[in-house]
């Protein structure tokens, strides 16, 4: 395992030490967990962005989409326990 040195402002160092103690972790373990969680969060954000970009490119390429009003109606009815038919994508007038 490699070593990395980080410089923390005293106030942040104190907050990390207190948070680690409250969670029952060592300061070192708490910092490692925070870095791991932030790294995972960034990977998920990147995946989300890539998926959104791919879906948007598909919409632009096909010119087809579903109006929000239809999607909302579908979601509301689904939440009410109804079984609405799924709205279909179609080219919308400009």
| CB < 8 Å & 24+ apart, contacts of 61-67 | 62/89, 63/91, 64/89, 64/90, 64/91, 64/92, 65/89, 65/90, 65/92, 66/90, 67/92
Percent of the chain with pLDDT over 70: 99
Q: What is the pLDDT of residue 93?
A: 73
pLDDT band at residue 92 using 50, 70 and 90 as cut-offs: confident
* 78: Cα separation from own chain's centroid: 24
């Amino acid at each position: 395992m490699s070593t990395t040195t980080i410089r923390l402002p005293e106030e942040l160092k104190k907050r990390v030490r207190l948070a680690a103690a409250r969670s029952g972790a060592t300061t070192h373990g708490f910092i490692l967990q925070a870095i791991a969680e932030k790294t995972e969060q960034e990977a998920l954000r990147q995946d989300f962005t890539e998926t959104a970009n791919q879906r948007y490119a598909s919409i632009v390429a096909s010119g087809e989409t579903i109006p929000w009003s239809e999607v909302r109606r579908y979601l509301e009815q689904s939440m009410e326990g109804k079984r609405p038919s799924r709205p279909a994508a179609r080219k919308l007038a400009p």
